[in-house]
């Protein structure tokens, strides 16, 4: 297993990883009316907007994990709302309560603007398939992205983790993140890049 920069050929693997870890860390295949819903919000915009801040774990055959970053959340949110979401929204009418809330959140341009966004301007998503978990690769991906952000002069990075995803919360604490805020939607955690 090795960590390398994202390449366009990884796109389908990134989609697969996103779906198979999308239910609070568990497989979300078939959970929504389209399996494209989660990747269209939480993965593909990132490799489209800032592929240079995407890194994958390569098992020699395919990508089995990734970390995806947006350096400037304010700019990313603006682009997501005006340049990205309109291109995929039609695919996702939002059926059922859970899906409707995901779609409503995606369509809200302010959803990414956490209170501490200026102190932690970047945000990230990290997901590893079960075969890649528990081997120190998640920590290495965090180091890789925070290093790339620090090189660009970005002082801090944050993320939002589901309230029910207690395993991921424990991981983030272990790799230097602290809780910044929390509500029913999840826990906001942040870390300085230096
Ligand atoms: C959460 C996730 C990214 C962690 O990556 P990982 O490669 O499994 O974690 P690592 O092996 O790098 O662990 C790094 C450190 O965190 C600790 N850690 C990891 N999971 C933990 C847990 N559930 N409880 C306590 N500590 C944990 C490890 O013990 C390790 O500590 P050390 O480096 O001091 O020895 C990965 O398991 C994953 O992708 N899970 C499914 C998808 C998901 O939930 N993504 C997050 C969505 S917000």
Cα separation of 98 and 105, whole Å? Answer: 11
Q: Which domains does the chain have, with CATH numbers?
A: 2-154 (3.40.630.30)
**Backbone φ and ψ of 85, nearest 5°:** -55, -40
Please identify which residue in the block is written with the tokens 């890049």.
Answer: 193
Rounded Cα distance between 90 and 151, Å, is 38
Mean pLDDT calculated for residue range 130-157: 98
Q: In what order do the strands lie in the sheet with 186-192?
A: 2-5, 54-58, 63-70, 122-128, 156-161, 186-192, 178-183
**Is residue 164 lining ligand 1, measured as CB closer than 6 Å?**
no
132 CA: nearest ligand 1 atom: 7
Q: How far apart are CA 26 and CA 138, in angstroms?
A: 16
Beta strand 186-192 pairing with 2-5: unpaired
Return the percentage of the chain with pLDDT > 70, whole number: 100
Give the position, in ligand 1's atom list, of the atom nearest the Cα of 135: 11
pLDDT tens for 111-142 read 999 999 999 999 999 999 999 999 999 999 99
Residue nearest to atom 48 of ligand 1 (CA): 161
- Please give the model's pTM, rounded to 2 decimal places: 0.97
- Calculate mean pLDDT across residues 47-62: 98
CA of 187 to the centre of ligand 1 (A): 16
Residue 184 confidence class, pLDDT cut points 50, 70, 90: confident
The confidence band for 185, taking pLDDT boundaries of 50, 70 and 90, is confident
- pLDDT over 80 at 79, yes or no: yes
Q: How would you classify the pairing of strands 156-161 and 122-128?
A: parallel
Measured in Å, residue 79 CA sits from the centre of ligand 1 at: 30
């Amino acid at each position: 297993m090795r960590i390398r920069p994202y390449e366009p050929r990884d796109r389908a693997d990134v989609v697969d990883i996103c779906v198979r870890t999308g239910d609070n860390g568990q497989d979300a295949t078939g959970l929504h009316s389209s399996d494209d819903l989660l990747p269209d919000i939480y993965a593909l915009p990132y490799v489209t907007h800032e592929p240079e801040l995407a890194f994958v774990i390569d098992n020699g055959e395919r990508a089995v994990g990734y970390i995806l970053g947006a350096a400037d959340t304010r700019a990313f949110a603006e682009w997501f709302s005006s340049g990205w979401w309109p291109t995929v929204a039609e695919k996702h009418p939002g059926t059922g309560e859970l899906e409707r809330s995901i779609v409503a959140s995606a369509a809200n341009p302010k959803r990414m603007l956490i209170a501490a966004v200026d102190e932690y301007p970047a945000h990230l998503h990290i997901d590893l398939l079960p075969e890649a978990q528990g081997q120190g690769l998640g920590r290495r991906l965090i180091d890789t992205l925070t290093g790339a952000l620090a090189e660009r002069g970005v002082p801090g990075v944050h993320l939002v983790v589901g309230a029910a995803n207690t395993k991921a919360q424990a991981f983030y604490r272990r790799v230097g993140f602290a809780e910044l805020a929390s509500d029913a939607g999840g826990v906001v955690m942040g870390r300085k890049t230096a």
